């Protein structure tokens, strides 16, 4: 297995962190973070651990559901039924639901404020914010510090499909024109986000979070409705 892109201990032994782009070490470095002062009360570590566990379980769980329950071949969904008495498995190819407008070049945007579609989701990017630390407004003492700094791409997500579908930020990537950054799922949860099942027509306002080197200028974000979708690029 290849090592995913992200911040790792710098191999030079300095104690800081260095960004690995999935293939090689980049020149982006971050100094060692000072140890956080201990908090009063017994719940801080426990809740932080639960947050991290939820992030991992959510990513693995969604990917597993998509892999085991659905496979898309072009525009046709293939459903496999259990073997019958003869031991044969039937395969039924169903045409996609009607009444859902398919994405076209005309409704794919190049920038902020314009709607784009991927699969059953319509996205509207509304802005970009920077922060050194993220926390849930309801639990301000529970914080996560960035290895570099957090870039939070604010986006409105709407289900334009015919069936309920779950939104999770894990499948989106950010580019500065040179390096592709994966979303920070744990930071996304620290902001107070959870898995959101959207019924047809439902919308949510959220922010996809990326831990990037300080001063990174984002060029574009690639948004996905799921782990295996084609994705759509929006310029920032």
Q: What is the pLDDT of residue 16?
A: 80
Report DSSP letters for 131-200, one per residue.
EEEEEETTEEEEEEEEEEEEEEEEEEEEE-SSS-EEE-GGG-EEE-SS-EEE--HHHHHHTT---EEEPT
Give the chain's end-to-end CA distance (angstroms, integer).
32
Segments of the chain with pLDDT less than 50: 36-42, 44-46, 48, 52-53, 56-57, 59-60, 62-86, 89-107
pLDDT at 75: 39
- Specify the DSSP class assigned to residue 224: -
The span from the CA of 51 to the CA of 40, in Å, is: 19
> What Cα–Cα distance (Å) separates residue 210 from each residue in 8, 66, 76, 148?
15, 24, 34, 10
* Phi/psi at 94 (5° precision): -110, 135
Query: Residue 222 pairs with which residues in a beta bridge?
Result: 173, 233
Which burial class, exposed, middle or buried, applies to 161 when counting CB atoms under 10 A from its CB (0-12, 13-18, 19+)?
buried
Residue range(s) occupied by CATH 2.60.40.1240 in the chain: 36-68+97-235
pLDDT score recorded for residue 39: 46
As given in the structure block, the two tokens for residue 76 are 């046709």
The first and second tokens of residue 106, run together, are: 């005309």
Return d(Cα 212, Cα 228) in angstroms, integer.
24
C-alpha distance from residue 203 to each of 23, 155, 160, 165 (Å): 36, 10, 9, 11
CATH of domain 36-68+97-235: 2.60.40.1240
pTM of the model: 0.59
Q: What is the spatial distance between Cα 115 and Cα 113, in angstroms, rounded to a whole number? A: 7
């Amino acid at each position: 297995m290849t090592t995913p892109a992200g911040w790792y201990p710098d191999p030079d032994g300095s104690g800081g962190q260095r960004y690995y782009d999935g293939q090689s070490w980049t020149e982006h470095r971050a100094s060692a973070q000072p140890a956080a002062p201990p908090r009063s009360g017994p719940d801080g570590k426990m809740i932080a651990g639960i947050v991290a566990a939820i992030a991992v379980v959510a990513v693995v769980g969604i990917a597993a559901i998509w892999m085991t329950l659905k496979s898309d071949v072009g525009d046709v969904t293939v459903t496999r039924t259990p073997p019958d008495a003869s031991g044969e498995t039937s395969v039924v190819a169903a045409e996609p639901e009607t009444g859902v407008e398919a994405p076209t070049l005309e409704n794919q945007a190049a920038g902020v404020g314009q709607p784009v579609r991927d699969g059953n989701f319509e996205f509207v990017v509304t802005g970009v914010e920077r922060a050194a630390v993220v926390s849930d407004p309801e639990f301000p003492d529970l914080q996560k510090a960035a290895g570099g700094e957090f870039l939070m791409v604010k986006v409105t997500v709407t289900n334009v499909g015919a069936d309920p579908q779950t939104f999770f930020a894990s499948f989106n990537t950010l580019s500065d024109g040179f390096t592709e950054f994966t979303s920070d799922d744990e930071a996304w949860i620290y902001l107070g986000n959870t898995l959101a099942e959207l019924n047809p027509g439902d919308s949510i306002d959220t922010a996809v979070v990326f831990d990037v080197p300080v001063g990174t200028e984002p060029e574009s974000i690639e948004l996905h409705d799921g782990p295996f979708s084609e994705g759509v690029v929006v310029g920032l």
